[in-house]
Amino acid sequence: MKKVAVLGEETFIRFFELIGAVGFPCKTPEEIRKKVNEIIKSEEYSLIIIPERFIESVRDIKEKLMREEKVEPIFAFFPDFVELEEKRIKELKREIMLAIGVEMKV
Mean pLDDT of 61-80: 91
Length of the chain: 106
With cut-offs at 50, 70 and 90, classify the pLDDT of residue 106: low
Decide if pLDDT at 83 tops 60.
no
pLDDT of 89 reads 62
Name the DSSP letter for residue 3: E
Give the whole-angstrom CA distance, residue 70 versus residue 52: 22
pLDDT of 80 reads 77
Residue ranges of E strands in 13-73: 22-25, 45-51
DSSP-assigned beta bridge partners for residue 49: 6, 76
User: pLDDT tens digits for 3-54?
Assistant: 999 999 999 999 899 999 999 999 999 999 999 999 999 999 999 999 989 9
Output the CATH code of domain 3-100.
Answer: 3.40.50.10580
Name the DSSP letter for residue 74: E
Domain boundaries, the chain: 3-100
